[in-house]
Structure 1
Amino acid sequence: MLSAEHEDLRDAVRAMLSRGNASWSGLCQQIGVAGLAVPEEYGGAGATLLEAHVVLEETGRVLAPVPMLSATVAAHALLLSGDKSVCADLLPGIVEGTTIATVMWADSLTETVRYVLDGDTADVLIVSTPDGLFLGDSRHRVHTPTMDESRRLATVRLSGGTRIGPPAPQLRDIALVAQTAEQVGAAQQCLDMTVEYTKTRVQFGRPIGSFQALKHRMADMHVLVETARSISYAAVEKLDLAAAAAVSCGETLSFVAGEMIQLHGGIAITWEHDAHRYFKRAHNSVHLFGQPHEHVARMSRTI
Structure 2
Amino acid sequence: MTGPGTGPEELEALRVAVRALLSRTPGPDAWPKLCGEIGVAGLGIPEEYGGAGAGLPEVCAVLEELGRTLTPCPMLGSSVLAAEAVLASGDEAAKRRLLPGIAAGTATAALVWAGAQGHWDPTAPACRWDGRLHGEAHYVLDGADAEVFVVAARTDHGVGLFEVDPAATTRTAATPMDVTRPLTTVLLDHCPGRPIDDRADQSGALARARDVSCVALAAEQVGSAAYCLEQTVAYTKQRVQFGRPIAHFQALQHRMADLYVLVETARSAVWAAARAEKQQLPLLAAVAKAHCSEALSRVTAEMIQLHGGVAITWEHEAHRYFKRAHGSAQLLGQPREHIARLVALVLDPG
TM-score normalised to structure 2 length: 0.83
SS in 2 for 1:110: strand
Q: Percent identity?
A: 55
Pairs within 5 Å for 1:290-301: 290-301=333-344
Cα distance per residue 1:254-298 (max 9 Å; x no partner): 000000000000110011110000000001011111222221221
Contact 1:69 1:179 in 2 (8 A): yes
Pairs within 5 Å for 1:235-274: 235-236=273-274, 237=276, 238-239=280-281, 240-274=283-317
Contact 2:82 2:209 in 1 (8 A): no
Pairs within 5 Å for 1:46-125: 46-70=53-77, 71-105=79-113, 106-107=125-126, 108=128, 109-125=133-149
1: distance between equivalents of 2:257 and 2:25?
30
Out of 233, 244, 253, which is 2:271 matched to? 233
SS in 2 for 1:127: strand
Letter in 2 for 1:74: A
Contact 1:141 1:154 in 2 (8 A): yes
Question: After the TM superposition, which of the residue ranges 113-122 and 279-288 deviates more from structure 2?
Answer: 113-122
Shift, 1:74, TM fit: 1.7
Contact 2:140 2:186 in 1 (8 A): yes
Correspondence for 2:239: 201
Correspondence for 1:210: 248
Out of 159, 163, 182, which is 1:135 matched to? 163
Contact 1:25 1:96 in 2 (8 A): no
Out of 129, 146, 157, which is 2:176 matched to? 146
Displacement over 4 Å in runs of 4+: none
Shift, 1:2, TM fit: 5.1
Letter in 1 for 2:314: W
Out of 161, 185, 193, which is 1:161 matched to? 193
Letter in 1 for 2:100: P
Contact 1:144 1:155 in 2 (8 A): yes
Pairs within 5 Å for 1:179-190: 179-190=217-228
Shift, 1:6, TM fit: 0.4
Correspondence for 1:36: 43
SS in 2 for 1:65: coil
Shift, 1:161, TM fit: 2.3
Letter in 1 for 2:222: V
SS in 2 for 1:131: strand
Report how many residues are paired. 303
Question: After the TM superposition, which of the residue ranges 282-291 and 158-167 deviates more from structure 2?
Answer: 158-167
SS in 2 for 1:44: coil
Correspondence for 2:122: none
Shift, 1:104, TM fit: 2.8
Contact 2:21 2:30 in 1 (8 A): no
Letter in 1 for 2:8: S
Unpaired segments ≥5 residues, structure 1? none
2: distance between equivalents of 1:37 and 1:135?
20
Question: After the TM superposition, which of the residue ranges 86-95 and 146-155 deviates more from structure 2?
Answer: 86-95
SS in 2 for 1:23: helix
SS in 2 for 1:111: strand
Question: After the TM superposition, which of the residue ranges 184-193 and 203-212 deviates more from structure 2?
Answer: 203-212
SS in 1 for 2:169: strand
Correspondence for 2:120: none
2: distance between equivalents of 1:160 and 1:178?
31
Letter in 2 for 1:175: S
TM-score normalised to structure 1 length: 0.95
Cα distance per residue 1:98-145 (max 9 Å; x no partner): 101122322424110111111121111112345132223542011112
Out of 8, 12, 17, which is 1:7 matched to? 12
1: distance between equivalents of 2:44 and 2:25?
26
Contact 1:73 1:175 in 2 (8 A): yes
1: distance between equivalents of 2:335 and 2:187?
25
